[in-house]
Structure 1
């Protein structure tokens, strides 16, 4: 499957997050993004050195959502199969600027780099 591209509509899907009472909640991507400008970040390992040392947003501006089974990542065409390394299927590192469900900017890393998908890169595109 080809990765999602500029001009395409993001697929709907379900992501998860913990609410203020530490209860797992599920939410539709379209319900969050419809009629809004949002940024979706994908990271292959949230607690790996690259992801942990490079914060994405100022505190209070973000909502951290999980795609534990990588179903939504697959729907975007942005999965990364690291099974040979014992790490399973994960997300490629990316940042998508989405305006009313349409991709405006797609900053997708080509490998293990961190060159185009930072918060600074996506903020510059705003």
Structure 2
């Protein structure tokens, strides 16, 4: 999902690459609002997903206008597990994934953690992070 860092670093975590909400709403929102986020002091916008780096590189290429969002792989879900935000979707054939969320951190201290429930997409978008800045 997304991590947004501005000396606050911001981070967004995506449930999975190419899920409808992730690919068509969550990611595009951060890409289109990256300049606004940067104007409010955001240094980095990181998209982290429990996927391999090859999937993340290919997924990033589907957004040719992206200049600010970095796509990062959490292949073994180590980062996701450390945050306690893993989601087991084995019953659906997807294995271990991450819950959808957005973090805002200032000097590595999390100041906002918008964690979605049950696959929702209501509080982890770029608009909500902009409101929190």
Structure 1: runs of 5+ lacking an equivalent: 1-32
Structure holding more helix per residue: 2
Mapped partners of 2:69, 2:16: distance in 1: 18
Structure 2: runs of 5+ lacking an equivalent: 33-65
The structural deviation recorded for 1:97 is 0.2
Aligned partner of 2:31 among 37, 54, 57: 57
Root-mean-square deviation over aligned CA pairs: 1.8
- Which residue does the alignment assign to 1:45? 16
TM-score (norm 1): 0.69
Mapped partners of 1:120, 1:66: distance in 2: 24
**Segment of structure 1 superposing worse, 43-52 or 91-100:** 43-52
| Structure whose alpha-carbon radius of gyration is higher | 1
Mapped partners of 1:120, 1:68: distance in 2: 28
Q: Establish whether residue 83 from structure 1 lines up as the match of residue 83 from structure 2.
A: no
**Number of aligned residue pairs:** 94
Cα deviations by residue, 1:35-92 (Å, 9 ceiling, x for unpaired): 8111110011121111111112233222111112211100011110101111100010
Mapped partners of 1:123, 1:60: distance in 2: 18
- Which residue does the alignment assign to 2:42? none
Q: Which runs of 4+ in 1 moved over 6 A?
A: none
